[in-house]
Structure 1
Amino acid sequence: MKTTDSVPERAGTVIVGAGIVGCNVAYQLTKLGRDDVVVVDQGPMPTTGGSSTHAPGIMFQTAEPKELSQFADYSRQVYSDLEGADGQQAYNETGGIEVARTEDRMDFLQRRVEHAKAWGIDDPQILSPEEVTEKLPLVDADEILGGYYSPTDGQVSGVVACDALAREAMERGAEFVPHTRTEDVETENGEITAVVTENGTIEADDVVLATNIWARQLGERLGVHLPVTPVEHQYTMTESLDELADAAVDITDHPLFENYENVSGEKATRLLVGPDRPILRDQDNAMYFRTHGDSYGIGSYNHDPIVPDPQDLGGNDPDGEQGSVHEFTDYHMDNATHPDRPDKAPRQASDELLPATGGKDLEFKYNGMFAESPNGLPVLGPVEEYDGLWTALATWVTHAGGAARALATWMEHGVPKLDGEPMDVAHCDVNRFDDHEGSWDFARDIGAEEYRIVYNIMHPKWVWTENQRDIRRTPMYHSHKELDAELWAEAGWEEPQWFESNADLLAEYGDQIPDRDEWTGTYWSPIEGAEALNVRENAGLHDMTSFNKMEVVGADAGEFIQSLCTNDMDLAVGDVKYTLMCNEAGGVRADITVTRTDENRYLILTTGREVGNNHIAWVREHSPDDVVVNDVTSSLAAMVCTGPNARKILSEVTDVDLSDDAFPFFTSQQFFVKNVPVTALRVSYAGELGWELYTPSEYGERLWEILLDAGEEHGLRPYGNGALNALRIEKGFRLWGEDLHTEHTPSEAGLGWAVDMDTDFIGKEALAGGETPAAAADGGEPRHQVACLTLDDTDETILPHRPVFAPGDDDTLGYVHSAEYGYSVGACVAYTYLPPEFAAPGTDVEILYEGDRYEATVREEPLV
């Protein structure tokens, strides 16, 4: 690997960090045609001393988050195409096996199969204990109940891959500058101008932070609080094992060995050797294994989280110690310190599973560091605060190739893509975080929490129960507590999922609410169904303060709104319109309602939770200088009073005429509810008669009390997010981030009616079939089409992210994006995207869920 000793004066793109992420980004950017790329790193290359140098490189591709599986599958393809310095393929496709020691884990492994089929991972299989030991003879079959086998899993050396990626990037014009610490990033008028290194300053148009565990240090200098947390992870390698004697390898003649040894020391003799059999995970004990020639490597998450302070992290020291490695803590290997696994030490668990390691010395051992994010996903994309600043953080070897490809296409074409297809990265977007998440107090605790649960069996509805709770409280918080709300943390907000005070509704509605099995019914209460049915029959009051709200103000605000939105936005003051925002490729960037509240003032209402901040960043990014975009999420309390009795309830507390003629659907008025000023919108996400009510936060609690009191005789009850999801899904309303995102065009999502091609908006060219590529031109043949399904067995309920098939077939047609029981329709409703020939109403399909195939039928929407 031929690097340069001098720091260039200028580059179009500077990548800070030459680990597996930085090298992948350089490789992908130059592949897309950028030839003025410079990569700087504080360490030597390719062994920089970061986590890529000490990582064992195992690649298990299957995960429930679709993004991680997509990134891993693409990374496998990238590494398989690379030639290492020794002339061999960089990727070792050994296969991967995850074993189960409990029945719960066997159920989990079945979910692994279903997620793999949903995401397109090749040939996932369940193995018996005997089949596991056929592939891994040193595993004790008596210790396990079975395994999950993914034939295309494997291993790649971070050092080998970094070297190969960098060599190809350099052939296309990139420069790599080692031994050069980045000290600062210069900015001017909100734009990146240069990277300041210890050896000189590089003027730049784009800067990519690919520094992982060091990300927080550099971000703080820019005033960007990146919630990227370094955590320590134990890895050891045994002494030579007689059982592996035939696999002994002398690696000292490898072209990269001397470089590797200079940074990592003697353990390079093991780390550089690839495995000769499937990689292995024992998640019941939070451990993984791979061979290094005649040695077994043992990785352990099975200990109390260790979170170093980022400000204490240095670089590589003159004695050759890696900045990303801390001294091995024997105590954490020899004692049961994991909060969820108090009965068995990691070493005991390892020796039970692999008896050949029992009593053997751990020849090399260390605590290596990597980076965690608050939701366990990468931190990618353009940083809202500065034009030209990008991040590629909290990313492992497994996912780096795919994440880098998505980022590179984002930088070059404005849209993340993999294999030429659009990819939604909303849950990976660097702008998804709220202000509190940037505090070290939050990042430390939640980074540790993510480390703790990394190998736990996690339910998709799981939320933090102890750490970092009660951060954001809506004005109605104390009322929610008094009504025994089940509060879940959503983007820091304490939001009701259901209200225990509504348990009495079960006497009336309980026979319409089927029981659920243990897994599907976890984090669920039948009260959700009772609340939903009460909304349909009487009325409900829902706290929607956490939904993101923007105010757009300025003389050119109307023109700007039109440029963002797909619909005709020629609105009169008081008009409300549902519309979409698309990205440059015609994918749906958000669905929103826009209200013109004054001559030069608009209110935009969009999705809440962690993805809503992405929409605010998007709007701000495209706003002209003379238009102000204010995030008013926290300054406005919001609630909706909805149901057949909503008009009666509101009429008791206001003198405003609420009739259809005086207050039509999709209009807005400002008035008083008793003495509380409100902006009222005649809309309802529940699909019933209703008004959304917005008021300054200090009035929110009083407004809530007024409505509850007025509604008591009309059957008004508060309802939570569980009921809201059931109400909206049976009405056919999309939820952005689940059954609607940038991988779908408006027509594919069944929302073509919200597009006016006579107006000009971002993404119009793509939707018209112009030069900008789209998932499918609206005038052309779509790749897939939204489909509303109901399960034929009306007593069953499923959860999302499971594969959909034609009856009796094993070829995956699509996957379930969202699912919830529709209490008004008496069946579980699921939304998916299928090939057009399977999306027609009346078509029969099957859904694989928890090992069983459920018959379902495509329905005409909306169901209600």
Structure 2
Amino acid sequence: MPSLPSHARVVIIGGGVIGCSVAYHLTKMGWKDVVLLERKQLTSGTTWHAAGLIAQLRASANMTKLAKYSQELYGSLEAETGVATGFKRCGSITVALTDERKEEIFRQAGMARAFGVDVEEISPEEVKMRYEHLNIDGVTAGVYLPKDGQGDPANIALALAKGARQNGALIAERTKVTRINKTGRRVQSVEWDQDGETGTITCDMIVNSAGMWGHEVGRMAGVNVPLHACEHFYIVTEAIHGLTQLPVLRVPDECAYYKEDAGKMLLGAFEPNAKPWAMDGIPTDFEFDQLPEDFDHFEPILEAAVERLPMLAEAGIHTFFNGPESFTPDDAYHLGLAPEMDNVWVAAGFNSIGIQSAGGAGMALSQWMDGGEKPFDLGDVDISRMQPFQGNKTYLFERSRETLGLLYADHFPFRQKETARGIRRTPFHEHLLERGAVMGELAGWERANWFAREAQKAEYEYSWSRQNFFDNVREEHMAVRQNVGMYDMSSFGKIRVEGRDAMAFMNYVGGGDYDVPVGKIVYTQFLNNQGGIEADVTVTRIEEECYLVVTPAATRLADQTWMRRHKGDFNVVITDVTAGEGILAVMGPRSRELLQAVSPNDFSNDMNPFGTAQEIEIGMGLARVHRVTYVGELGWEVYVPSDMCGHVFETLATAGFDFGMRLCGMHMMDSCRMEKGFRHFGHDITSEDHVLEAGLGFAVKRDKPSFIGRDAVLRKRDEGLEKRLVQFKLTDPEPLLYHNEPIVRDGKVVGYLTSGGYGHHLGAAIGMGYVPCKGESIAEMLDSTYEIDVMGTRVKAEAQTKPFYDPKSERVKV
């Protein structure tokens, strides 16, 4: 065994494929003193028994970029290290057995084209030509990706490990981390045990790549890494005479995937009701272990498979395998700097896509560690998206039952998780349920997404076409546009920034001007050093030395962490107060009348102009109103102390009856904000989207002497924009848009929609997306023919940089 140093620049904990990838990429960048500690042998947890499917297409452009990078890396590793990776591009076919699944995979094909992935939609007969063994009864269509592949998972990891060693990394097997010592927000050292010999390594940082032990290692380091192991089943047949290389085959409607390997067939499953494993902890001696067979659990998958691939009926089963893999609450892996600590990095929870993701994830994390900023948007997988409660073991056990199966479930728009629900409820929760609310879940919050009519079943009926709530949302939408509507915004994050340096700190961390009177509201962004958008928030000066930062529900922790990491020597206190107040948004042309009916305060433009807040009486209680809008109408957000929320809701609901007020949900809010061209953080604006190219330059006060991102903003202003965020409206009212549909300019794919929805006031589907425009004026960019690719059909679209609805924002200021 290698002699361990007393100090390392980084200690990587866990020797699966991702830990080996991080070590490989750090040493490739010239890092020295890289130490990887593996409790048993490399790959002995999950990597060794992974199926080795290597697909390019993921759910977003950057995740696809990382998967494509993994393929390219694995193709060159063998020549670099001499370790055979078994990587081969055999292609893949996904088949649909329903019309709904056909639409899903054809929309995915359009997304693939937008992301630069080779793809071909094929008929059942063309599927048969490429996969002769398949019974195509019931097959409605297929999608073929010629550059997908497969590989040997263990050898890929060992090749990465050898490459890391060649570049100076020290990799120690049979070395268990027993304790992580920390002071404040920094890890100081790692204690280890190597077959009875013990020691300590001081370190500048650690990487938690411990796989299904990641949750436990996270607790040792004081960070939350939500994941749970589940049993994952597959069988391998005896050798089948004459069987040659085949594409990887996926039949998600039967929860199955197939891979030919050395003349045998592997059949694996992602069944709807998974079996969580090791609720009481993973056995200490676990190493290359298999779990007990459960043929009864796997039998329904096998029965369908024998019908789908008749040759399986004649093939003997060589191996029935059951091994554990870890799954996260949302089926996205964890990557990045843990929000609780300043030198603890995480790369874990890869949800059965570890092999296809590890190369790219290791590259991205290494660049982040080396440069101190994300190399591109990683919001889909950033560990800071996880909420503290999601580390709860009971929650993880219940949610993991579902998440494994969701990999192959129908990925309908707006599909909601069914397990581990009802954890975070707003003060208005029961009031909304009593009135027909159909709840969705975001970051654990139960939120009213739409409201059922009296005789209507209050639940989703999923589809790719107009879903059962389409007309409900239209009615809610039109109520806000024409009359008055009310919806619950309590889940939005609320962060107090207070102290004698509060104004100076806000002016440093944010792009806006916060030297404003008490009661003034500033819409603003937090920028990174490249001018990309790290947060999209409103900031209200509550008192002379106190600001309230309001963030999207899903990014509250990330936004608070961003502020805390840039606090420096500023004398401020940053506090999450989300649960302290409920928020009811009262929006629409008659919102002023409704508020005047329940409050003696003055809501006129003179007293309460747009972009200001005031304390009010309401009913027999107290509240604070913020005159801002995310739906593009006259309206107020009513902030209510949690103890008075019930009373204020009842007061507004009773008075609202006389106005014909409708209760509304989040789907209404989303469709209205798209009509108005308001950006959605995480879709339309991310850390790699420059604030000027996003059309948000008005929110940046460039004449401030010093703020994060200032130089990048001034540089972009001088150099000119390379792309612009454009709004689109389909000329045909029937097709629906969701997001990621390709944007076609003058017959050529130039980008994809970052948001998509239906504009009920406009009477057509709408979307947003970035269009390259280097050296072009807005007029030149728009003087083109635009189409949106909807499931392979190009639909003509109107394009403009201004909102389609109320482009001069006259309605919000009446």
| Aligned twin of 2:88 | 92
Q: Residue 785 of structure 1 is aligned with which of 724, 727, 734?
A: 724
In structure 2, C-alpha distance between the alignment counterparts of 1:572 and 1:475, rounded to whole Å: 31
Secondary structure at 1:34 match in 2: coil
1:5 aligns with 2:40: no
- Residue correspondences, number: 787
Residue by residue over 1:200-225, the C-alpha shift from the partner in whole angstroms, topping out at 9 and shown as x without a partner, is: 21111111100111112222334434
**Match of residue 202 from structure 1:** 201
Contact 2:413 2:464 in 1 (8 A): no
Q: Tell me by how many angstroms 1:378 deviates.
A: 0.8
Q: 2:622 aligns with which of 677, 692, 699?
A: 677
Normalization by structure 1: what TM-score?
A: 0.87
Instruction: Determine the C-alpha separation between the residues in 2 that align with 1:78 and 1:755.
Output: 40
Distance 1:404 1:443 in 2: 25
717 and 140 in structure 1: CA distance in 2 versus 1, 3 angstrom threshold: closer
- In the alignment, which residue of structure 2 is the partner of 1:264? none
CA distance in 1, matches of 2:760, 2:312: 55
The residue aligned with 2:610 is: 665
What residue is the counterpart of 1:714 in the other structure? 659
Please name the residue that 2:37 is paired with.
40
- Indicate the SS of the match to 1:198: strand
Say whether 1:416 aligns with 2:374.
Answer: yes
1 CA distance for matches of 2:135 and 2:594?
Answer: 67
Q: Which of the residues 448, 460, 465 maps onto 2:413?
A: 460
Q: Residue 486 of structure 2 is aligned with which of 521, 538, 541?
A: 541
| 1:510-540, Cα deviation, whole Å (9 max, x unpaired) | xxxxxx9952323633121111111122212
**Contact 1:286–1:300 (CA<8 Å) still a contact in 2?**
yes
Given that 2:15 and 2:41 are in contact with CA atoms closer than 8 Å, whether structure 1 keeps it comes out as no
Which of 339, 347, 351 is the equivalent residue of 1:392?
A: 347
| Structural mapping, 1:10-25, within 5 Å | 10-25=7-22
Which residue of the partner structure matches residue 761 of structure 1? Answer: 707
The reply to whether residue 331 of structure 1 matches residue 328 of structure 2 is no
1:468, distance to aligned residue in structure 2 (A): 1.8
Paired AA for residue 703 in structure 1:
V
**1:166-177 alignment to 2 at 5 Å?**
166-177=161-172
Choose the corresponding residue for 2:281, options 290, 312, 335.
312
The match for 1:438 is: 391
| 617-626 vs 482-491, which moves further | 617-626
Question: Does structure 2 conserve the Cα–Cα contact (< 8 Å) formed by 1:20 and 1:400?
Answer: yes
Aligned residue runs from structure 1 range 495-574, under 5 A? 495-501=447-453, 519-522=464-467, 524-574=469-519
- SS of 2:608's partner is coil
Of 727, 730, 736 in structure 2, the residue corresponding to residue 797 of structure 1 is: 736
Secondary structure, in 3 states, of the residue corresponding to 1:240? coil
Counterpart CA distance in 1 for 2:501 and 2:310 is 72
SS at match of 2:598: coil
- Residue 51 to residue 523, structure 1, CA distance change in 2 (3 Å): farther
SS in 2 for 1:243: coil
Q: Which of 104, 107, 110 in structure 2 is aligned with 1:108?
A: 104
| Counterpart mapping for 1:199-348 below 5 A | 199=194, 200-244=199-243, 276-302=245-271, 304-309=273-278, 311-314=280-283, 316=285, 322-323=288-289, 325-333=290-298, 335=299, 345-348=300-303
For residues 769 and 448 of structure 2, the distance between their equivalents in structure 1, rounded to whole angstroms, comes to 27
Match of 2:647 among 702, 709, 712: 702
Match of 2:564 in 1: 620
Tell me, in whole angstroms, the C-alpha distance in 1 between the residues paired with 2:665 and 2:520: 28
Secondary structure of 2:205 counterpart:
strand
CA deviation vs aligned residue, 1:447-503 (integer Å, no higher than 9, x gap): 1211122211121310023x2222222111121122111221222222112223599
Q: CA deviation at 1:310?
A: 5.2
Whether the aligned pair in 1 keeps the contact of 2:272 and 2:402 (CA below 8 Å) is no
Per-residue CA distance 1:422-469 (angstroms, 9 max, x = gap): 2x222312121223311111111111211122211121310023x222
Counterpart-to-counterpart distance in 2, 1:427 and 1:126: 27
Cα separation, 1, equivalents of 2:464 and 2:695? 32
Q: Which residue of 2 aligns with 1:478?
A: 430
Cross-structure match for 1:382: 337
Question: Residue deviations 1:388-439, cap 9 Å, x none?
Answer: 011101121111112222212221223323xxxx2x2223121212233111
Asked whether the equivalents of residues 842 and 858 of structure 1 are also in contact (C-alpha less than 8 Å), the reply is no
Q: 1:173 to 1:706 in 2, by over 3 A?
A: same
1:737 corresponds to: 682
What is the rounded CA distance, in whole Å, between the counterparts of 2:246 and 2:613 in structure 1? 65
Moved more, 612-621 or 568-577: 612-621
1:137 and 2:76 are equivalent in the alignment = no
Q: Which residue of 2 aligns with 1:183?
A: 178
1: CA distance, partners of 2:499 / 2:786: 51
Q: Distance in 2 between matches of 1:102 and 1:726?
A: 28
Report the identity percentage: 31
Partner of 1:83: 78
Say whether 1:826 aligns with 2:767: no
1:287 to partner: Cα distance: 1.4
> Which of 556, 579, 582 in structure 2 is aligned with 1:637?
582
Q: Is the 8 A contact 1:649 1:711 kept in 2?
A: yes
Q: Deviations over 1:654-701 (max 9, x none)?
A: 232222122221112223223322222121112222221212111112
Q: 1:9 to 1:435 in 2, by over 3 A?
A: same
Shift of 1:226: 2.2
Q: In 1, Cα distance between the equivalents of 2:278 and 2:84?
A: 39
Structure 1 counterpart SS, 2:326: strand
User: In 2, distance between residues paired with 1:613 and 1:66?
Assistant: 24
Q: For 1:401, which of 359, 372, 388 is the aligned residue?
A: 359
For 1:193 and 1:150, the matched residues in 2 are separated by: 47
Corresponding residue to 2:545 among 588, 591, 600: 600
Q: Is the 8 A contact 2:291 2:323 kept in 1?
A: yes
- Relative to structure 1, is the Cα distance of residues 695 and 308 closer, same or farther in structure 2, using a 3 angstrom cutoff? same
Closer/same/farther in 2, CA of residues 481 and 655 from structure 1, 3 Å limit: same
Provide the residue aligned with 2:47 in structure 1.
52
Structure 1 runs, 4 residues or longer, greater than 4 Å off: 84-90, 501-504
In 2, the alpha carbon distance for the partners of 1:838 and 1:165 equals 47
> Alpha carbons of 1:449 and 1:185: their partners in 2 closer, same or farther (altered >3 Å)?
same
The match for 1:508 is: none
Q: CA deviation at 1:765?
A: 2.7
> Counterpart of 2:59 in 1: which secondary structure?
coil
- Residue 88 (structure 1) shift: 5.4
Kindly tell me: are residues 787 and 493 of structure 1, through their superposed partners in 2, closer, same or farther at Cα, counting changes over 3 Å? Answer: same
Contact 1:584 1:763 in 2 (8 A): yes
Deviations 1:583-617, CA, capped at 9 Å, x for gaps: 23221111111111111110001112x33332222
Instruction: Measure, in 2, the Cα distance between the counterparts of 1:680 and 1:747.
Output: 30
Seen in structure 2, the aligned counterparts of structure 1 residues 835 and 184 have a Cα distance that, compared at 3 Å, is same
Q: Decide whether aligned partners of structure 1 residues 689 and 180 sit closer, same or farther in structure 2, where only a CA change above 3 A counts.
A: same
Higher mean C-alpha displacement, 679-688 vs 67-76: 67-76
Could you state the TM-score of these two structures normalised by the residue count of structure 2? Answer: 0.92
Q: 1:141 to 1:452 in 2, by over 3 A?
A: closer
**Offset at residue 644 of structure 1 (A):** 1.6
Unaligned runs of 5+ in 2: 807-814
- Tell me the C-alpha RMSD between the 2 structures: 2.3
Q: 1:802 and 1:188, CA in 2 relative to 1: closer, same or farther beyond 3 A?
A: same
Cα distance, 1:763–1:30 mapped onto 2, change above 3 Å: farther
* Cα distance between partner residues in 2 of 1:50 and 1:778: 51
Q: Is residue 842–residue 859 contact of structure 1 (8 Å, CA) maintained in 2?
A: no
